[in-house]
Amino acid sequence: MSQYNAADIKKDRLRFTKNKQSSGLILLSIAANALYFVSIYSSDVGGYYYRFFIVLSIVYNLIFMLTAFLASEGVKNYKLSYAYTAIVLGALQVARIFFIPMRAHREPNPVVGAETLTVMSGGQFRYVTACLLISAALLICAGVIGIRKSTVLSKYQAELRQMNREG
Amino acid sequence: MSDLKLRHLEKIYDNNVQAVYDFNLDIRHGELIVLVGPSGCGKSTTLRMVAGLEDISAGNLIIDGRDVTQMPPKDRDIAMVFQNYALYGHMTVYENMAFSLMLRKEDQNEIHRKVLAAAEILDLTEQLNKKPSQLSGGQRQRVAMGRAIVRTPKVFLFDEPLSNLDAKLRSSTRREILMLHKRLDATMIYVTHDQTEALTLADRIVCMSMGHVQQIGTPIELYDSPANLFVAGFIGLPPMNLYDVLIKDGTASCDDFMTPLTAEDCWQLMQYEGKVVTMGVRPENVVPGGTITVNVMQNENLGQNTLVSGTVGRQKITCKFRDWCTYQTGDQVRVSFQKKHFFDKQTTKAIRR
């Protein structure tokens, strides 16, 4: 190793170390998503949320957490496909802002006497949007880092194979 | 340079049990010291005191001229390899080896360089991405050694590192440790109850019993000139034959046999004329041909040697003959004793002049 420069050593390290950076970011994104759904599901606004879309939301949350966790394990082992999965999940987190939070924020409150307010207050809307945006940003960062590291590693391994073939 | 001085070390546990008595030893840089003795003799306790895992009840431990008696283990710059490997099961070999350096917050590239260098020394390069559960016992022990090597400590401590390995692996790993010692020129203290390990590895052996140092010396010194009956009986496989004999008129005799003494033996035993002493004869110093009759009980062929166990009158005897022998139970073999060792019956110390 002594003949290699620092950049080469950095690449070589990838062969033996896991991509804990991306993996950690994805786990954090799951935590941010948890803050989002806890805020939504703990709301009690005259039964507004007790409709069919809440079922979809719960099912999606389960799928999201499972897929994100799988992606975190995948990117940890430099699997390129899981890095792309993380980016797609990040994009979907942004899209979710327009599903429940935006609609609830525009909907008048069904509670008698509180018609002038909306189902989701401005404060809660900002909070859940921030949670989803943070979750999305973490996922996209994790995906981008994962793609970069996986590409560097696969190129480096190809170089090593080539060097081995040439003796 | 990493010299060690163990000055009057003692270990007394809270329940007043004393495990080590007045242990004194100077270890030179690059020396491989083996502490050997039966279970409970205090060898591991001594090692753990050096490592800082046990408090030192009395005495001083000096490393490179610095008194580290009260220093915590992490500041002593010592690496220890345990019998049970003590590897992290959820980490890969690479991570196990790099872990201690990561805790020290060393540069990542430097850690990588050190781990790869250690892996190359220990022939573990192909295993770096595996977890300990995917490795054989020998490989796991090499990982444990690798973890010690990467730290480039002043002193390596080995606490019965080969005890969990089978005989063949033990032999090869022993050779690896010896090569490693030569390659690293490191100061090492090695604890074992296996005298073969002690004799093959050590620059000097410390033989212990009941917390006391019995003898310190080179392997050949302990084997050829045991200081007392304990060392004589402990070092050597099969163990030395021991008999109480009367020294009289140039002979050593008991009810069952009589053997002539050499001029040197007579000179050594001058003060014991007419007295009973303990005579020791190593099995390989019992040779065919002579006046002593052995009634054969067992004949064990070891390939190059044959171990013959039997009796001389009421005394038991083990002989190690160089040839392939085919004695049957009940056969009689005439033997004589070559080199003999004599011990004072009261003090159990070797008789020397």
Q: Where are the domains of chain B?
A: 4-233, 238-343
The answer to whether residue A50 sits within a structural domain is yes
Do B42 and B22 contact (CB within 8 A), yes or no?
no
Domain count, chain A: 1
- Whether B34 shows a pLDDT value over 50: the answer reads yes
The mean per-residue pLDDT over the stretch A102-111 comes to: 82
The answer to whether residue A9 sits within a structural domain is no
- CB contacts, 8 Å: B128 with chain A: 15-16
- pLDDT, residue A1, reads 47
Q: How many H helices and E strands in chain A?
A: 6, 0
- Whether B348 shows a pLDDT value over 90: the answer reads yes
Q: Scanning every residue of chain B, which has its alpha carbon at the shortest distance from the alpha carbon of A15?
A: B129
CA of A50 vs chain B CAs: smallest distance (Å): 44
Which backbone phi and psi does B76 adopt, to 5 degrees? -85, -10
How many other C-beta atoms lie within 10 A of the C-beta of residue B347?
A: 10
The answer to whether residue A13 sits within a structural domain is no
- pLDDT, residue B85, reads 86
- Whether A118 shows a pLDDT value over 90: the answer reads no
Query: Distance between CA B104 and CA B64 in Å, rounded?
Result: 22
Query: Distance between CA B246 and CA B276 in Å, rounded?
Result: 4
- B109 with A6: Cβ contact below 8 A: yes
Among A30-34, A101-105, B154-158, name the most confident range. A30-34
Helix locations, B23-166, DSSP H: 43-51, 93-103, 108-121, 137-149
Do B35 and B224 contact (CB within 8 A), yes or no?
no
Query: Distance between CA B20 and CA B214 in Å, rounded?
Result: 12
The mean per-residue pLDDT over the stretch B207-231 comes to: 95
B264 pLDDT band (50/70/90 cuts)?
very high
Cα B83 versus chain centre, distance: 15
- pLDDT, residue B185, reads 87
- A15 with B108: Cβ contact below 8 A: no
B123 pLDDT band (50/70/90 cuts)?
confident
Q: Scanning every residue of chain A, which has its alpha carbon at the shortest distance from the alpha carbon of B130?
A: A16
Residue A119 exposure: Cα atoms within 13 Å on the Cβ side:
22
Instruction: Write the ipTM.
Output: 0.72
Q: List, for residues B293-343, the tens digit of each pLDDT value.
A: 999 999 999 988 999 999 999 999 999 999 899 999 999 999 999 999 999
The residue whose two tokens read 């935006």 is: A102
- A1 with B117: Cβ contact below 8 A: yes
Q: Percentage of residues in chain B with pLDDT exceeding 70?
A: 100
Q: Are strands B204-209 and B32-36 parallel, antiparallel or unpaired?
A: parallel
Range of the domain at A35: 19-166
B68 pLDDT band (50/70/90 cuts)?
very high
The answer to whether residue A4 sits within a structural domain is no
CA of A60 vs chain B CAs: smallest distance (Å): 32
CA of B110 vs chain A CAs: smallest distance (Å): 9
- Whether B122 shows a pLDDT value over 90: the answer reads no
* Residue B112 structure tokens: 């990588």
Do B295 and B339 contact (CB within 8 A), yes or no?
no
Q: What is the mean pLDDT of chain A?
A: 89
Residues 6+ apart with CB under 8 A from B285: B337, B338, B339, B340
The mean per-residue pLDDT over the stretch B144-162 comes to: 91
Q: Scanning every residue of chain A, which has its alpha carbon at the shortest distance from the alpha carbon of B117?
A: A1
Describe chain A by its helix, strand, coil percentages, rounded to 5. 75, 0, 25
- Whether B69 shows a pLDDT value over 60: the answer reads yes
- pLDDT, residue A108, reads 79
CATH of domain B238-343: 2.40.50.140
The mean per-residue pLDDT over the stretch B45-67 comes to: 94
How many other C-beta atoms lie within 10 A of the C-beta of residue B88?
A: 12
- pLDDT, residue A52, reads 82
The answer to whether residue A5 sits within a structural domain is no
- pLDDT, residue B1, reads 58
Q: What is the mean pLDDT of chain B?
A: 92
The answer to whether residue A152 sits within a structural domain is yes
CATH class of the domain whose range is B4-233: alpha beta
Q: Which candidate from A2, A9, A16 shows the least CB-CB separation from B94? A: A16
CA–CA–CA angle A124, A127, A130 (5° rounding): 145
The mean per-residue pLDDT over the stretch B124-153 comes to: 91
- B112 with A12: Cβ contact below 8 A: yes
A163 pLDDT band (50/70/90 cuts)?
confident
A62 pLDDT band (50/70/90 cuts)?
very high
* Residue A149 structure tokens: 């590291």
- pLDDT, residue A2, reads 45
Query: Distance between CA B220 and CA B5 in Å, rounded?
Result: 23
How many other C-beta atoms lie within 10 A of the C-beta of residue B15?
A: 5
The answer to whether residue A81 sits within a structural domain is yes
Q: Does B243 touch chain A (CB under 8 A)?
A: no
